[in-house]
Amino acid sequence: MTSAEKRVIFASSLGTVFEWYDFYLYGSLAAIIGAQFFSAYPPATRDIFALLAFAAGFIVRPFGALVFGRVGDLVGRKYTFLVTILIMGLSTFIVGILPNAATIGIAAPIILIVLRLAQGLALGGEYGGAATYVAEHAPNGRRGFYTSWIQTTATLGLFLSLLVILATRTFTGEAAFAEWGWRIPFLVSVLLLGISVWIRLQLSESPAFKKMKDEGKTSKAPLTEAFGQWRNAKFAIIALFGLVAGQGVVWYTGQFYALFFLQSILKVDGYTANLLIAWSLLLGTGFFVVFGWLSDKIGRKVIILAGCAIAAATFFPIFKGITSTANPKLEAAIESVKVTVTADPAACGTLFNPVGTRVFTAPCDLARDFLSKSSVRYATAPGAAGQPTTIRVNDTEIPYPQGGNVEANKATTAALQAAGYPKAGDPEIVKMSNPFDIFRPQVAQVIGLLFILVLFVTMVYGPIAAMLVELFPTRIRYTSMSLPYHIGNGWFGGLLPATAFAMVAQTGDIYFGLWYPIVIAVATVIIGVLFVPETKDRDIFADT
């Protein structure tokens, strides 16, 4: 690898790390941001709006892929992904200085959502540009290795955001962090932005695009050519369902849903949960490069699909292992305590609520919603017509009257704890006293299981950039690869935590949400085996 090639990879990867850092800050601080910008609403509604604003960034990513992909194929890779990082960095910095709702009223949440949309649009254009730019600098036979450095950036961005948040929290204290300290990680991003822009300004256009432009072969209508002509559009569809959908759900299960599962279901405190994930990322990130390098030797397709298949086959035992290690009392209670909600079936609705906007009023729905949020495995039994709702914990029956939820919840909690469910802060729940408290068996075992999940992430994600680049011709590459990537990751993957938890709430089974990534991963394996071609030996310099 020449020094010029190293500089290309470093500049593209570093800038993308900062992009992901910016994007993840909001997700990590959604609850605090909700209190700052949606303070006019009750706490539950405020949290819902905060999460919806976060989800908006994922939803618009494919549109960013279309906008900036088209510009990248018309104007060039370098200038397009220079624009995307400017939009991303400035949007994040403005969040850090944006007055809250108590100061400027309704304008605060409106501006915040606009900034989130800008971040999502920019991220939709950033990844495709960085991946295409690096791949078009890489020699044949080395693209998997070169582009795998780009693949480390999402994980490193998440890791960096967690580190900055933890350091700021430690420095300011929790009270000050919630009041004003949360702004510091957003403000720090302007320094990262300055470094990224300076480095990217030193780069030149990719050789493949420059050659094509000099020969007058650039596309005049990239969107029409990419998606309006079946010979090209079919590869975008194949890439989405035969590669990226499965990769996206494995990626988000191994990082985001694992963090959500620890905090919201296993009731591990936020400090410990973030440290456990951070250590698993630190141990696993190097394997992005390992699998990228390996894909140059044995092929991209076999590694990506093997990662999807192995993940689908092992998600249930791994998450059950995390439960038994991180919160052993909860696992024991789930197996031994019988909880039943009995109600008139006509009074029970669906609890499927992936965006968190529904408000439950029927006692049957309120009872089940309370149990699911308490990580209780329950069953629903049909009662006689007009029968009041009851919760039975083993032999203890608690009436659940209309409007009497507070007392009913207290009585249910007492019955659950008496039967064996752990109390909040139970000493047997895994807890880290400091960032290097990793050598106790309980902590080490949880990190080990999380590391396996990250290993699956590296298998499916390490070779994906090279494969997407190689699937499409140079003239429409930026546009063509960006759209399936961001639908697969932004929609199938980005909405996974909320959808999986909605499935848990509906069924009363803390593991049921895993069927979402498993089914999609298996479908990707089947479609990928049948329709996705191997691409590692393609010469993209000759393909315009």
Domain spans, the chain: 3-326+432-531, 332-419
Task: Tell which wins on pLDDT, 371 or 543.
Answer: 371
Q: Using the predicted structure, report yes or no on whether residue 512 has a pLDDT greater than 70.
A: yes
Question: What is the rounded average pLDDT of the residues 209-235?
Answer: 80
Q: How far apart are CA 293 and CA 291, in angstroms?
A: 5
- In DSSP notation, 125-170 reads HHHHHHHHHHHTTSPTT-HHHHHHHHHHHHHHHHHHHHHHHHHHHH
Q: Do 3-326+432-531 and 332-419 have matching folds?
A: no
Question: What is the rounded average pLDDT of the residues 290-310?
Answer: 96
Tell me, what's the pLDDT at 19? 67
Question: What is the rounded average pLDDT of the residues 215-220?
Answer: 76
The residue assigned the tokens 């009872």 is 367
Range with the poorest average pLDDT among 135-139, 211-215, 258-262: 211-215
Range with the poorest average pLDDT among 196-205, 326-335, 468-477: 196-205
- Tell me yes or no: is domain 332-419 CATH 2.40.30: no
Tell me, what's the pLDDT at 247? 96
Q: What is the mean pLDDT of the chain?
A: 86
Task: Tell which wins on pLDDT, 30 or 355.
Answer: 30
pLDDT digits (tens, 9 = 90+) for 371-381: 988 999 999 99
Q: Is residue 231 classed exposed, middle or buried when 0-12, 13-18 and 19+ CB atoms within 10 A define those classes?
A: exposed
- pLDDT band, residue 117 (cuts 50/70/90): confident
Alpha carbon 466 to chain centroid distance?
Answer: 21
Task: Tell which wins on pLDDT, 425 or 449.
Answer: 449
pLDDT digits (tens, 9 = 90+) for 336-351: 999 999 998 988 888 7
Question: What is the rounded average pLDDT of the residues 361-373?
Answer: 88
For 381, the 3-state DSSP assignment is strand
- pLDDT band, residue 542 (cuts 50/70/90): low
Task: Tell which wins on pLDDT, 18 or 172.
Answer: 172
Per-residue tokens: 312: 């689908």
- pLDDT band, residue 355 (cuts 50/70/90): low
**Sheet of 379-382: strands edge to edge?**
379-382, 339-343, 390-393, 396-399
Q: Which amino acid is at 413?
A: T
Range with the poorest average pLDDT among 186-200, 313-327, 376-390: 186-200
Q: How far apart are CA 428 and CA 325, in angstroms?
A: 9
Residues in the chain: 544
CATH topology of domain 3-326+432-531: Growth Hormone; Chain: A; (1.20.1250)
Tell me, what's the pLDDT at 292? 95
Element (H, E) at 393: strand 390-393
Task: Tell which wins on pLDDT, 27 or 301.
Answer: 301
Question: What is the rounded average pLDDT of the residues 419-429?
Answer: 91
Q: Using the predicted structure, report yes or no on whether residue 295 has a pLDDT greater than 90.
A: yes
Task: Tell which wins on pLDDT, 329 or 132.
Answer: 329
Question: What is the rounded average pLDDT of the residues 369-396?
Answer: 90
pLDDT digits (tens, 9 = 90+) for 1-52: 677 777 788 877 777 787 678 767 877 787 788 788 877 766 656 666 776 7
pLDDT digits (tens, 9 = 90+) for 430-453: 999 988 999 999 999 999 999 999
Nearest to 430 by CA among 348, 321, 526: 321
Question: What is the rounded average pLDDT of the residues 50-78?
Answer: 80
- pLDDT band, residue 233 (cuts 50/70/90): confident
